[in-house]
Amino acid sequence: MKDLTRRDQIAGGLAEVEARIAAACQAAGRARDELTLVAVTKTYPASDVRILAGLGVGDVGENRDQEAAAKAQECADLSLTWHFVGQLQTNKARSVVAYADVVHSVDRIRLAAALGREAVHAGREVTCLVQVALDDDPARGGARPADVPALADALAGTEGLRLGGVMAVAPLGADPVKAFTRLREVAGTVRAAHPEAGIVSAGMSGDLAEAIACGATHLRVGTALLGRRKPFVR
């Protein structure tokens, strides 16, 4: 049998993901165009980003600044929206605002302030989401739900930034519907104060249907599109 080209592999993954999204939309009574698929390309090369772009994917996500900066530069000729989805240190703010259009992982005021400063400096406007912690594991990042409204207010009031909405990662091993239902409540609180902040970034390869059922607007999908990642070694 002839080996699949990388393009064939990725096209197959994309078709499967789109079929899952279509089924979940139908079950939830939602339209496909309410959802943005963000292809999480971490650990995969810029050539895969190029293939995804050729297949019509317009949004890509990364979680490490060094890797993302290099990839965004290699793909500067493509018109892509770049999403930063990983935990972010304040001292990386300058680098990240140079390429990121959307930062999903803002979980503290100091980080918001640094991103705003650097966005103004770079003459850019960056959409920011408040990352909400849905469990008590500080290693995964995120603001506690009680702290989210103040952080949303801070983002909305920071020059250079636009408050987009909220993001969360479902806790490992927990029921994703329970987690995403909680996120939907927090998103509603944010939207009551900031009606323009309609983004709900939830759902990964393993739980995208549950996220769609619970009102997600953005899905962050890596493995199901590109294959299982090699374990990351620092």
Ligand X SMILES: *Cc1c(COP(=O)(O)O)cnc(C)c1O
- Fill in the amino acid letter for 231: P
CB of 60: closest distance to ligand X in angstroms? 12
CB of 77: closest distance to ligand X in angstroms? 25
Q: Which is nearer to ligand X, 87 or 120 (CB)?
A: 87
CB of 231: closest distance to ligand X in angstroms? 13
Q: Quote the CA–CA distance of 47 and 185 in Å, as a whole number.
A: 39
Q: Which is nearer to ligand X, 85 or 130 (CB)?
A: 85
Q: Which is nearer to ligand X, 21 or 204 (CB)?
A: 204
- Fill in the amino acid letter for 209: A
CB of 85: closest distance to ligand X in angstroms? 4
CB of 176: closest distance to ligand X in angstroms? 12
Q: Which is nearer to ligand X, 86 or 160 (CB)?
A: 86
Query: Rounded to whole angstroms, what are the CA distances from 136 to 58, 202, 211?
Result: 34, 18, 20
Q: Quote the CA–CA distance of 3 and 125 in Å, as a whole number.
A: 44
CB of 123: closest distance to ligand X in angstroms? 28
Q: Quote the CA–CA distance of 54 and 51 in Å, as a whole number.
A: 5
Q: Quote the CA–CA distance of 67 and 46 in Å, as a whole number.
A: 10
User: Which tokens belong to 156?
Assistant: 């909305």
Q: Quote the CA–CA distance of 24 and 30 in Å, as a whole number.
A: 8
Q: Which is nearer to ligand X, 85 or 134 (CB)?
A: 85
Query: Rounded to whole angstroms, what are the CA distances from 139 to 62, 81, 88, 133, 135?
Result: 18, 27, 12, 10, 10
Q: Which residues bind ligand X (CB under 6 A)?
A: 40, 42, 63, 85-86, 169, 204-206, 220-224
Q: Which is nearer to ligand X, 120 or 227 (CB)?
A: 227
In three-state secondary structure terms, 171 is: coil
